[in-house]
Structure 1
């Protein structure tokens, strides 16, 4: 392959070059019609994985090349690297819905005044207190709720009642910074934590999976699983890593970097579930997906931004 034209990414390994392009040169792709993400993946040809590393280009809908303006065409080769255009569909923030005590990860949670619900991913700690981990859009309703907002299990939509079902209080969230007319801010995680009202009220066990064993970095093509409140235990594979992706939150678009893309694992309500490998190591935090893919934050970014660690027992 010819890498001589790559000026902004001074790496030698193909995966490092592609990851650098996806993190720094993504506007070349995202400014094209229908393109919502780019990541490091394996080229798929005639339905078969070739195990050749390429730039995965995620589009909301595949359109015949003769119907697109030349400026919106994705080149088959970009700076000497193969591209692979994938029909991803449209992103939607994504039920183990009953009340359970002690609270078990994977079940329904939600803030007291809001009808929306999501999934309790896992228990975490800052070294002093215990917290539940989920998404900002689940626990803080996209930056809009006050610190100390009560968190219910199950969430209001699943029958949770004020006071009787409060298990935690919103403690911290990483603000989501949406795309504007003039700016496209970088985001790395849609995440929030809520301090447990009592450390004995929740268990680190993940329903149908067991306790998490720790954290690991994601690897291309590895088998993964998740437990969420809507679709419960599902399994799949990682199809792209180091992905830059534009997520549509309804009234706002948010640009995320360093994301994990998997085969379809989640449905609405599964947002906040953790992405696990086959040995129960946490790889990511699910934020949503399309009708063909699921998108997760890299767990290393989540833990770094919130200054927390996973509780395993």
Structure 2
């Protein structure tokens, strides 16, 4: 059962105010009980970093809500181990990737996952591209068009011979503003490619997610894992708005508080919960940039963050993932991830 008009109206009325409150990390419409996973039992879900310190304003709002509404403890962070750091030729999805300019960086190499191979749709001649996240390929304010992209990330002895696969082409992320709709970037691919995902197979096409959809992803760190979509997508406003820390970018002004912040807000996202016990967790650091697929190998979204129930600051493998719908990524970057080009 899709979200009701009343439920969407409540979410839209709350959203402009809650991100000015301390400890609030997100809002969406999704499954009220993520243990029973009933796609017809929906609620407005407000996420906070610490459920023992819910702002009184949130309690007041929920007390007046005419529709089911719940508070869940969850924080979200970019998914920056025994990873797959092997060279893969032809280049395919689900493999290690990064920007070469960080090879000798004292702050470390922000490796992630090359999600899948696609093509541009707005260039005079289609260009073969690799899709990942902004915080993997572009990462910070020193990024620039044409910077070298390598696969795999460097090993303990440095770069691999022939590791260059292309150059940074474009990105989409709220670098200098508080809010945006995607954490995505593309690079050209100048070597042989395959329209497939390691351990998954050929990409069939793209489609939209729905609550209860069984999905999977293949990431550089955790490999092939399985999950269940928990966010409603019956209306664009039912999807989630979440905030996460972006310490690698300069502070921006939060228009709700008028104060500088290193947080960034992404709207129109959805969440995936791990399908336990088929998988113990869904993602970990380095899985950023993985594409999320349905059981027919259609891409439904681009993974960019992980959700944690704990509040102690320890970052380990995550039970939840935050994903940008693939139609948003394709539209914003002018690309197609269809299997046939």
Shorter-chain TM-score category? 0.7 to 0.9
- Paired residue for 1:283, among 290, 294, 300? 300
In the aligned structure 1, how far is the partner of 2:71 from the partner of 2:100? Answer: 42
Q: Secondary structure at the match of 2:33?
A: strand
Q: Is the 8 A contact 2:37 2:212 kept in 1?
A: no
In the aligned structure 2, how far is the partner of 1:216 from the partner of 1:23? Answer: 25
- Residue in 1 aligned with 2:335? 308
Would the alpha carbon gap of residues 80 and 158 (structure 1) be closer, same or farther in structure 2, given more than 3 Å must change?
Answer: farther
Would the alpha carbon gap of residues 163 and 19 (structure 1) be closer, same or farther in structure 2, given more than 3 Å must change?
Answer: farther
- Residue in 2 aligned with 1:73? 59
Offset of residue 158 of structure 1: 7.2
- Paired residue for 1:60, among 32, 49, 73? 49
Moved over 6 A (4+): none
Q: 1:123-272 counterparts in 2 under 5 A?
A: 123-127=117-121, 128-156=126-154, 161=159, 164-177=162-175, 185-198=178-191, 201-241=192-232, 242-250=239-247, 252-264=262-274, 265-272=282-289
Q: Secondary structure at the match of 1:28?
A: helix
Deviates more, 1:74-83 or 1:228-237: 74-83
- Paired residue for 1:29, among 18, 24, 38? 18
Deviates more, 1:92-101 or 1:159-168: 159-168
- Paired residue for 2:115, among 116, 121, 138? 121
In the aligned structure 2, how far is the partner of 1:31 from the partner of 1:192? Answer: 29
Q: Is the 8 A contact 2:11 2:29 kept in 1?
A: yes
Q: Is the 8 A contact 1:178 1:254 kept in 2?
A: no
- Residue in 2 aligned with 1:91? 77
Would the alpha carbon gap of residues 275 and 234 (structure 1) be closer, same or farther in structure 2, given more than 3 Å must change?
Answer: same
Would the alpha carbon gap of residues 74 and 97 (structure 1) be closer, same or farther in structure 2, given more than 3 Å must change?
Answer: farther
Offset of residue 175 of structure 1: 3.9
Q: Is the 8 A contact 1:121 1:273 kept in 2?
A: yes
Instruction: Tell me the alpha carbon deviations over residues 50-95 of structure 1, each in whole angstroms, 9 at most, x when there is no partner.
Output: 53221111122211xxx65523536445541111211213423343
Q: Secondary structure at the match of 1:156?
A: coil
- Residue in 2 aligned with 1:14? 3
In the aligned structure 2, how far is the partner of 1:144 from the partner of 1:121? Answer: 23
Q: Secondary structure at the match of 2:70?
A: strand
- Paired residue for 1:112, among 100, 106, 115? 100
Would the alpha carbon gap of residues 23 and 206 (structure 1) be closer, same or farther in structure 2, given more than 3 Å must change?
Answer: farther
Offset of residue 269 of structure 1: 0.1
Instruction: Tell me the alpha carbon deviations over residues 188-244 of structure 1, each in whole angstroms, 9 at most, x when there is no partner.
Output: 11111111113xx22111001111111111101211110000000000111124101
In the aligned structure 2, how far is the partner of 1:23 from the partner of 1:290? Answer: 22
The TM-score, its normalising length taken from structure 2, stands at: 0.78
Q: Secondary structure at the match of 2:167?
A: strand
Would the alpha carbon gap of residues 69 and 307 (structure 1) be closer, same or farther in structure 2, given more than 3 Å must change?
Answer: closer
The TM-score, its normalising length taken from structure 1, stands at: 0.84
Would the alpha carbon gap of residues 22 and 197 (structure 1) be closer, same or farther in structure 2, given more than 3 Å must change?
Answer: farther
